[in-house]
Amino acid sequence: MISTFIEYIEEAISLSSIVVSSNIQKYFGSSNNKEAYIKGKLTFIDLSSIDFSIYVLEKGKKLICDKYRYQYMDPANRPVFRYDNAHHHKEILSFPMHKHLGDKVVASDMPEMGELLGEISALITKAIK
Protein backbone atom coordinates (compact mmCIF):
# COMPACT_ATOMS: atom_id res chain seq x y z
CA MET A 1 0.00 0.00 0.00
CA ILE A 2 2.75 2.47 0.93
CA SER A 3 4.75 1.65 -2.19
CA THR A 4 1.65 2.32 -4.34
CA PHE A 5 1.15 5.67 -2.57
CA ILE A 6 4.77 6.67 -3.22
CA GLU A 7 4.58 5.50 -6.85
CA TYR A 8 1.48 7.70 -7.34
CA ILE A 9 3.36 10.74 -6.01
CA GLU A 10 6.36 10.05 -8.23
CA GLU A 11 4.18 9.45 -11.29
CA ALA A 12 2.17 12.66 -10.77
CA ILE A 13 5.43 14.60 -10.56
CA SER A 14 6.98 12.92 -13.60
CA LEU A 15 3.86 13.56 -15.72
CA SER A 16 3.58 17.21 -14.74
CA SER A 17 4.52 19.70 -17.44
CA ILE A 18 5.31 22.43 -14.89
CA VAL A 19 7.98 20.58 -12.86
CA VAL A 20 11.52 21.39 -14.00
CA SER A 21 13.38 19.73 -11.14
CA SER A 22 12.63 17.49 -8.22
CA ASN A 23 14.51 16.16 -5.24
CA ILE A 24 12.62 13.46 -3.36
CA GLN A 25 13.89 11.44 -0.43
CA LYS A 26 12.18 8.37 0.99
CA TYR A 27 12.78 6.73 4.33
CA PHE A 28 11.18 3.48 5.45
CA GLY A 29 10.79 3.03 9.18
CA SER A 30 10.47 -0.67 9.79
CA SER A 31 11.62 -3.86 8.17
CA ASN A 32 8.08 -4.65 7.04
CA ASN A 33 7.67 -1.27 5.29
CA LYS A 34 4.57 -0.32 7.31
CA GLU A 35 5.69 3.31 7.64
CA ALA A 36 7.44 5.82 5.44
CA TYR A 37 8.59 9.40 5.46
CA ILE A 38 8.70 11.16 2.11
CA LYS A 39 10.07 14.65 1.67
CA GLY A 40 11.02 16.68 -1.31
CA LYS A 41 11.30 19.92 -3.17
CA LEU A 42 9.90 20.62 -6.60
CA THR A 43 10.86 23.61 -8.72
CA PHE A 44 8.45 24.81 -11.39
CA ILE A 45 8.79 26.50 -14.78
CA ASP A 46 8.38 29.99 -13.26
CA LEU A 47 10.97 29.18 -10.53
CA SER A 48 8.32 28.93 -7.83
CA SER A 49 8.72 25.85 -5.64
CA ILE A 50 7.07 23.56 -3.16
CA ASP A 51 8.60 21.80 -0.18
CA PHE A 52 6.67 18.86 1.13
CA SER A 53 6.87 16.15 3.74
CA ILE A 54 4.53 13.26 4.41
CA TYR A 55 4.66 10.66 7.17
CA VAL A 56 2.46 7.73 6.23
CA LEU A 57 1.52 4.57 8.14
CA GLU A 58 -0.07 1.36 6.98
CA LYS A 59 -2.51 0.06 9.58
CA GLY A 60 -4.33 -3.08 8.53
CA LYS A 61 -5.89 -2.27 5.18
CA LYS A 62 -5.78 1.50 5.75
CA LEU A 63 -3.19 4.05 4.74
CA ILE A 64 -2.96 6.90 7.24
CA CYS A 65 -1.17 10.15 6.48
CA ASP A 66 -0.22 10.92 10.06
CA LYS A 67 1.59 14.17 9.28
CA TYR A 68 1.91 16.23 6.14
CA ARG A 69 2.98 19.66 4.97
CA TYR A 70 3.01 21.25 1.51
CA GLN A 71 4.57 24.74 1.45
CA TYR A 72 4.30 26.55 -1.90
CA MET A 73 6.58 29.56 -2.47
CA ASP A 74 6.50 32.12 -5.29
CA PRO A 75 9.57 32.80 -7.50
CA ALA A 76 10.78 35.41 -4.95
CA ASN A 77 10.59 32.70 -2.23
CA ARG A 78 7.57 34.27 -0.51
CA PRO A 79 4.88 31.95 0.88
CA VAL A 80 1.76 31.54 -1.27
CA PHE A 81 -0.03 28.74 0.58
CA ARG A 82 0.57 25.84 2.91
CA TYR A 83 -1.46 22.72 3.53
CA ASP A 84 -0.80 20.87 6.77
CA ASN A 85 -2.37 18.94 9.61
CA ALA A 86 -0.55 20.48 12.56
CA HIS A 87 -2.80 20.37 15.62
CA HIS A 88 -3.56 24.07 15.85
CA HIS A 89 -6.54 26.03 14.49
CA LYS A 90 -9.09 23.91 16.31
CA GLU A 91 -11.78 26.31 15.12
CA ILE A 92 -11.47 24.99 11.54
CA LEU A 93 -14.15 22.45 10.59
CA SER A 94 -11.62 20.12 8.97
CA PHE A 95 -9.33 20.16 12.04
CA PRO A 96 -6.55 19.17 12.09
CA MET A 97 -6.35 19.50 8.29
CA HIS A 98 -6.28 23.06 6.96
CA LYS A 99 -4.79 25.44 4.42
CA HIS A 100 -2.94 28.69 5.09
CA LEU A 101 -3.56 31.45 2.55
CA GLY A 102 -1.63 34.51 3.65
CA ASP A 103 -3.14 35.52 6.99
CA LYS A 104 -6.22 33.34 6.49
CA VAL A 105 -6.66 29.74 7.53
CA VAL A 106 -9.37 27.73 5.78
CA ALA A 107 -10.80 24.23 6.03
CA SER A 108 -9.21 21.77 3.63
CA ASP A 109 -8.57 18.09 3.16
CA MET A 110 -5.10 16.80 2.37
CA PRO A 111 -4.62 17.30 -1.37
CA GLU A 112 -3.35 14.49 -3.55
CA MET A 113 -0.16 15.29 -5.47
CA GLY A 114 -1.97 15.47 -8.82
CA GLU A 115 -4.53 17.92 -7.42
CA LEU A 116 -1.80 20.00 -5.84
CA LEU A 117 0.16 20.22 -9.09
CA GLY A 118 -3.05 21.21 -10.90
CA GLU A 119 -3.65 24.02 -8.38
CA ILE A 120 -0.09 25.28 -8.82
CA SER A 121 -0.33 25.02 -12.61
CA ALA A 122 -3.45 27.20 -12.54
CA LEU A 123 -1.64 29.81 -10.41
CA ILE A 124 1.35 29.83 -12.75
CA THR A 125 -0.89 30.15 -15.80
CA LYS A 126 -2.82 33.01 -14.19
CA ALA A 127 0.42 34.85 -13.31
CA ILE A 128 1.72 34.52 -16.88
CA LYS A 129 -1.42 36.05 -18.43
The string of pLDDT tens digits covering residues 21-38 is 999 999 988 667 789 999
Residue 31: its pLDDT value, please? 62
Helices (H) and strands (E) in the chain, counts: 2, 7
In this prediction, residue 12 carries a pLDDT of 96
DSSP letter at 92 equals: S
pLDDT in tens, 61-111: 899 999 999 999 999 999 999 999 998 888 888 999 999 998 999 999 999
Instruction: Judge whether 74 and 82 are in contact, CB under 8 Å.
Output: no
